[in-house]
Structure 1
Amino acid sequence: MIKVANRIAEVKEYYFSKKLDEIRVMNAQGCDVLNLGIGSPDLPPAKQVTDKLIASARKPDTHAYQSYRSIPELREAIAKFYNKHFEVELDSHTEILPLLGSKEGVMYISMAFLNPGDTVLIPNPGYPAYKTAAEMMGAQVVSFDLKEENNWFPDLEKIDTQDLASAKMMWVNYPNMPTGQKASTALFEGLAQFAIDHNILVVNDNPYSFILNEKPTSLLSIPKAKENCLELNSMSKAFNMAGWRVGMVCGREEYVNAILRVKSNVDSGMFKPVQEASVEALSLPDSWFAEVNEEYTERRKLAEKILDILGCAYDASQSGMFMWAKIPQGRKSEEFIEEILQERFVFVTPGTVFGSNGEGYIRISLCSNKEMFNRAIERLEMVKV
């Protein structure tokens, strides 16, 4: 047996990959598990978007390899979208790079900028992919605390000076996953200045701005942010296109070109009909987001009812497609969710998946229909956990 590379020796299988396998086994045994844990939108894209995909796919000239930078129309649509919704000016020729999903971007950015031994600052709690990508590059991971008492914002003054001295990159994610906390202008201003002061590349992962959030924001709206900041975005959440794998990274030309050097040696471009359909999606009217959020609002009310049954505390103003909640005092997150799973056949996510500061919390996804939420409520009301 050939040994695996050192870069993945300590990399574990993604939590949800393992948990979904476990749930499949339970379902095969007749348990009928209600999965309220995974953040994969169940709603369809807009009809005109899928119509555009089909029409484009029927053309004989849309099936060849595509430019690594994407078709110009897609970059132009992204630039217009950022200008309309975030008041951010982007040069579509030099400051935008479409990606096969933002998760690809996490890896490509890490490959483009990290050397073995570099320090990467990642949020705790936060998206596990930030840590995994850094470790695969041989970088040193240093977490910074996000805590409820500080509104799930980083305290930049408390980051250790030694860690700052060797830090090359910092990941942030606002609106935040898993906590649902929205960014303030002051936070973004502080991050942009922090990036300059410490010569650190700060990357904001921003796929949740349009879900249950009246004021979408971008780190790049801060004038000096482009100097040392990038922003990842995705069409997975706001446009219900998770399986299409369409994301983007935006920012300074030199940084975008560095990521392109990695990308062009790994993938072979995005399917043109997907690109053309994405252009259609990016031009959807504001009423699209209003309709999607109307559904998520109804689901959130049901999720809140579940949390009330479970005796959890939560912030009703959080945004995004999840509900983050504190479980009853004295309970452990993983024990708590296992009890629900094994006794009531309802799966929610333990906060510890996202880091040690997630202990004592759980996350419910809003990506299930109201019928499933109501069935979960019925099961949980039978006996309190």
Structure 2
Amino acid sequence: MKGFADRVNSVEEYYFSAKLREVNQLIAEGKPIINLGIGSPDLAPDKKVIDALKSTADNQQSHGYQSYQGIAELRTSMGNFYAREYGVSLDPTKEILPMMGSKEGIMHLSMTFLNPGDEVLIPNPGYPTYTSVTNLLGAKAIYYGIDLGKAGRPNLEELENQDLSRVKLMWINYPHMPTGAPGSRPVLQELVVFAKKHGIILLHDNPYSHILTKEPISILSIPGAKEVAMELNSLSKVFNMPGWRVGMLVGREDWISKVLKVKSKMDSGMFLGIQKGAIAALNLGESWFSDLGSTYQSRRKLVWKLADKLNLSYDTNAAGLFVWCKVPDGRSAVELVDELLYERNIFITPGKIFGSEGESYVRFSLCMPEFKILEAINRIK
């Protein structure tokens, strides 16, 4: 044994991978843990989605390797979804690449564009995978702050004062995870101008656009964005399909073709039954989104009550699948997380795992039935 690769030392195990082992051990010991930490939808996909998977699996001819680009019907459904929901016209043969989850897409994109030493702009707080993938590839993470009072607008003035000559990519994410900052068309327009000025590729991670938002927005709906931006999207959150691992990358043809070169070396296509289920999901009507929104709205109101009992502050205009809460001055967020877990059997997420700007925050997930949230409220004396 001559040692592990150096890149292993550049990252730590994903927080939820390690923490959930502890939570599951507490459950095994009989602790009645209420998990308000992880954003894994507890609701089922629509029956049409399940039926499409079942009927395909029953077909003896469905179990072979599939195209690296997905079947044409899936790409067409993704294109129709973008046209219907975002007003964005895409060529299904050239500008859409199905992914086995958008988290994997972060790696595919980074491997396509980054060389060791390149720099990447990453929001702080932000999704930890942006940083871990950047580190794994020997690139350098450069963090930028966001203004929660301005829909999560990045501090572009501060960035303009930095040397951006080595920055190749900029990760953005609206509605923002973990804060729920909704973003806006003016914010995205500013980002497109900024990216063009500095020769930076904007990568918009967009899995929450239909969850408690006033309007779903794609960055590709911004004039001129396709010249400098690509977008990742996912069926995990909005269609209750996180374990199915279905996402998509959309954007300009020449960049998509390069990502496909990388992707084709890393998987052998998506099971046909999953593709058929994804097609059924993408073709669901507006009632699906309105019903989902009603469910999460009711849950969020209860989480707000829970936060009130803990003397936490939060933004009622935030969007997405989480509630981002600031702890009172002088109180430790980590200590609050531990107190709730070990004394109240309630698991929530400490904000520090999303970056230094999350030190004074905690995050609640809405992926828990109302009766469980009510039980959590009743546990707070």
Under TM normalisation by the shorter chain, which class is it? over 0.9
Q: How do residues 10-159 of structure 1 correspond to structure 2 at under 5 angstroms?
A: 10-159=10-159
Cα shift at 1:215? 0.6
Q: How do residues 306-325 of structure 1 correspond to structure 2 at under 5 angstroms?
A: 306-325=306-325
Q: Which residue of 1 aligns with 2:369?
A: 369
Cα shift at 1:161? 4.5
Cα shift at 1:160? 5.3
Query: Structure 2: how far apart are the matches of 1:306 and 1:59?
Result: 48
TM-score, normalization: structure 1?
0.97
Please tell me the root mean square deviation across aligned C-alpha atoms, in Å.
1.1
Q: Which residue of 1 aligns with 2:275?
A: 275
TM-score, normalization: structure 2?
0.98
Moved over 6 A (4+): none
Cα shift at 1:152? 2.6
Query: Structure 2: how far apart are the matches of 1:162 and 1:36?
Result: 38
Aligned residues: 381
**Any conservation in 1 of the 2:314–2:325 contact (CA below 8 Å)?**
yes
Query: Structure 2: how far apart are the matches of 1:7 and 1:115?
Result: 14
Q: How do residues 211-222 of structure 1 correspond to structure 2 at under 5 angstroms?
A: 211-222=211-222
Cα shift at 1:25? 2.0
Matched to 2:377, the amino acid is I
Q: Which residue of 2 aligns with 1:179?
A: 179
Cα shift at 1:48? 0.8
Q: Which residue of 2 aligns with 1:359?
A: 359
Identity within the alignment, % = 48
Residue 239 of structure 1 aligns to a residue whose secondary structure is: coil
Q: Which runs of 5+ in 2 are unaligned?
A: none
Query: Structure 2: how far apart are the matches of 1:185 and 1:302?
Result: 30
Closer, same or farther in 2 for the Cα pair 1:246/1:337, shift >3 Å? same
**Any conservation in 1 of the 2:226–2:252 contact (CA below 8 Å)?**
yes
**Any conservation in 2 of the 1:147–1:357 contact (CA below 8 Å)?**
no
Cα shift at 1:151? 4.0
Query: Structure 2: how far apart are the matches of 1:366 and 1:372?
Result: 11
Q: Which runs of 5+ in 1 are unaligned?
A: none
What CA deviation, in whole Å up to 9, does each residue of 1:166-211 have, x standing for no partner? 1000000001111111111111111111111111111000000111
Matched to 2:189, the amino acid is E
Q: Which residue of 1 aligns with 2:345?
A: 345
Q: Which residue of 1 aligns with 2:209?
A: 209
What CA deviation, in whole Å up to 9, does each residue of 1:270-296 have, x standing for no partner? 001111111111110000011111111
1:284 maps onto 2:289 in alignment: no
What CA deviation, in whole Å up to 9, does each residue of 1:7-40 have, x standing for no partner? 1212100011111011122222222221100000
Query: Structure 2: how far apart are the matches of 1:173 and 1:125?
Result: 11
Query: Structure 2: how far apart are the matches of 1:332 and 1:168?
Result: 36
Query: Structure 1: how far apart are the matches of 2:359 and 2:267?
Result: 38
Query: Structure 1: how far apart are the matches of 2:228 and 2:147?
Result: 25
What CA deviation, in whole Å up to 9, does each residue of 1:140-171 have, x standing for no partner? 11100124344432011211554411100000
